[in-house]
Chain A
Amino acid sequence: MNGVTRRRLLKGAGATLGALAFAKAVEPVLDFTSELSGDEFLQRHYRELSPEDMREVLARLEAETKEKYGAEVTIRDIRPQEGVQFGYALNLSLCIGCRRCAEACHVENNHDRKTHQSYIRVLEMQQGSIDMEHGDATYDHPVPQPGRYYMPVQCQQCDNAPCVKVCPVEATWKEQDGIVVVDYNWCIGCRYCEAACPYHARRFNWEAPEISAEEINPNQSYLSNRIRPQGVVEKCTFCLHRTRTGALPACLEACPTGARVFGNLLDPNSEIRWVLENKRVFVLKEELGARPRFFYFFDV
């Protein structure tokens, strides 16, 4: 009897000690959960939000940006326009590999400053080969180099997008105007889309983005350049906060050689239509059947 009571006592003490040790071990999580508001935790998917819900969400996000980053920003929810299908083309004969597009993307889209993130990677390719195996994205020398050409790669906004197909929670989808977007407040951070994308177009927020208040671009939208939360995936949105309001993507405006052509594929008088009709355009990795909306061509 005595043995039984002692054993029970020891077991009780052991269990209590174990529970306390567990509480202590997972304590750091409190720093995470204390920053997470109930409204954020319970927020529904983008497509399920009523206009009223959306107003509340945007106000909350603006307040959070003010609190965490000390910046006054305007976050809008900009919807696609009727009769618009966006397309992008890039003239490889003109591109000099200066990476100004990548830099403009970095600034426009409020990317993490520490990692110098950007949605665009520029490959330095060998003349006579289209095989990226012989390309180099980390070149660090004056451009253009003889015997080389330059190929910027960003999201190809595929019509048959592998990333959209694999997402287990529908946190990423193709909008009516052809832009593939992510609901940063719905993504669970499994990174299956990153594994599925054949163009290295997706980025994950390995840590919360760092950016100083004065460097923040205050013109933001929910589905594009607002400062992303930690632990979610993001991607190029053809600068939808600009392009859906009639402006051009930041990367295009920054290009010093005019290598980039952007526009509405449904507008017969658009420059993009002229390129598609008059140039011998191609898409990257056509054999994969992802049907990109990003076209490349050589002038000569």
Chain B
Amino acid sequence: MATRANSAKQDRPRHWVSYPRFLWRSLRLATDGSWTFYAWMTLLTAIALVGANAWANQVTTGMGLTGMSDHVSWGLYIANFTFAVGLAAGGVMMVIPAYLYHDEEMHDVVIVGELLAVAALVLALGFVVADLGRPDRFWHLLPGIGRFNWPLSMLTWDVVVLNGYLLLNLHICGYLLYMRFLGRKPNPRWYIPFVFLSVFWAISVHTVTAFLYSGLGGRPFWNSALLAPRFLASAFVTGPAFIILTLQILKRFTTFRVPDGPIQTLLKIMRITVLINLFMAGAEVFTEFYTGSSHVAAAKYLYFGLHGGSALVPWIWSALALNLFVVVVLYTPRFYEKRAVLNAALVAAFAGVWIEKGMGLIVPGFVPSTLHELVEYVPTLTEWKVTAGLWAVGLMVFTIALKVALPIFSGEVGVGASLTDADDVEAEPAPAE
């Protein structure tokens, strides 16, 4: 007994020393890189600055700079918000095989999915702020300080689940990385329960986001129980698509070991989800058009145009075409075995769902309006700039997260690897005792 206690005492890391070192090392990893890295980050910074400027003008002049109106009161921002939440939830398609099915290879790369969730949540929250008419009153939303209309308002549920999911993923990634940095085996007690919680939480973030819309009786186009399942199915198309693309880029440009197994698993998942997504879209189209009630107006406007308005028609048909292209590629070995064709299909899946969620779902909810007036919506340059800027910020967060996490995760950087790292040897004091 006495010896065990003694050795535990010896083993106990001195966190007040090693944690700041971990943070300092992370900061260095985040800012040191090749010229390609600097060029990429400079490009993203430039786009983000254009977006920041457009947003600053929007706050000052007013939301009149957007294409939205009292008829179509949500547009590109809320569309992107919805899509980003799906992307965050999509990362769970790596977590489930890795932790529930003990897929060892997936386990090695699962951190990519968890970091994607973090970046996508930052993106989603950014779009919410961009959509606020009064961002200066953001504090009214803080529980305890402002007035939080919970549990009545679904938006407050969304605030809870999105921030909760962000914290969960930050904790899981942060803990695992720090342990890796120390060269210690992570204690399952400190992360496994959170990983399992995050699986349910991932489903809940996109369910709650769907409930934002599906709970509104005055908007028949959204008022469907199928909305949440559709959101999840499409999220499990885009999440894996984006992750497969990321894994390939990492394989090509970094030393991070990316086995082929996880990519194949994610493709298998996509083969199912892309069909489920299309099936549900079809079921919705049938119900709307066969019934032929006045509720069909929004769907008619979306697919064929109504009373001379047809702004969304090209969007929805391109979304459908892109999704069908994905199906053809994913089910034809001749196509998916060619990297270039497969990658084109992955980009198509991403773009297809992006259109479907935005121009195909958020906007037609408002057209025709509740008094059946047909006012069309076209995003303005301000909206495109802010949107591009936020995506640049999201990609920056994702890039930096990967840049820091992968070398630590693969053991290249850390206390254990410090002998090969000149700076760390200097900084490392001789072990005490």
Contacts and interface: CB of A to CB of B under 8 A. Distances in A.
A196 interface: yes
Interface string A83-103: 000000000000000000000
A13 interface: no
B306 to A, nearest CB: 10
B59 interface: yes
Nearest to B142: A169
Given A121-B371, A168-B148, A169-B148, A205 B62 contact: yes
Given A28-B60, A41-B136, A207-B61, A194 B70 contact: yes
B63 A200 contact: no
Contacts of A28: 53, 56-57, 59-60
B155 A192 contact: yes
A214 interface: no
B153 interface: yes
Contacts of A199: 218, 370-371
Contacts of B138: 188
A133 B147 contact: no
Given A168-B153, A203-B70, A45 B147 contact: yes
Contacts of A133: 294, 297, 368, 372
Interface stretch (B100-108, B127-135, B190-198): B127-135
Contact of A188 (B62, B133, B218, B294): B133
A11 B68 CA distance: 41
A203 B64 CA distance: 13
Nearest to A27: B56
A126 to B, nearest CB: 12
Contacts, number: 175
Nearest to B307: A133
B254 interface: no
Nearest to B51: A25
A123 interface: yes
Contacts of A186: 137, 140, 147
B120 interface: no
A290 B294 CA distance: 20
Given A132-B371, A153-B371, A200-B70, A187 B60 contact: no
A33 B297 CA distance: 43
Interface residues of A, number: 64
B134 to A, nearest CB: 4
Q: Which of A21, A171, A189, A197 has the most CB of B within 10 A?
A: A189
Instruction: Determine the main DSSP class of A at the interface with B.
Output: loop
A197 B62 contact: no
A42 to B, nearest CB: 9
Nearest to A193: B73
Interface in B355-383: 365-366, 368-373
Interface string B152-189: 11111001000000000000000000000000000000
A191 interface: yes
A284 B153 CA distance: 24
A121 B99 CA distance: 57
Nearest to B372: A132
B371 A200 contact: yes
A15 to B, nearest CB: 8
Contact of A207 (B64, B73, B366, B370): B64
A198 B370 contact: yes
Determine which residue in B132, B152, B372 has the highest number of CB atoms from chain A within 10 A of its CB, and name it.
B372
B134 A187 contact: yes
Given A21-B49, A198-B370, A188 B137 contact: yes
Contact of A22 (B49, B63, B137, B153): B49
Most buried by A among B32, B153, B365: B153
Nearest to A26: B56
A192 B147 CA distance: 16
Nearest to B368: A133
Given A22-B49, A207-B62, A198 B153 contact: no
Given A28-B56, A206-B63, A191 B133 contact: yes
B261 interface: no
10 contacts: A131-B294, A137-B373, A162-B218, A166-B152, A170-B149, A190-B128, A191-B133, A195-B74, A199-B218, A232-B133
Interface of A: 7, 11, 14, 18, 21-22, 25-29, 31-33, 36, 41, 45, 121, 123, 131-133, 135, 137-138, 153, 162, 165-171, 186-192, 194-200, 202-208, 229-233, 285, 288-290
Interface pairs A-B: 5 shortest CB-CB: A189-B133, A198-B218, A231-B133, A207-B62, A206-B64
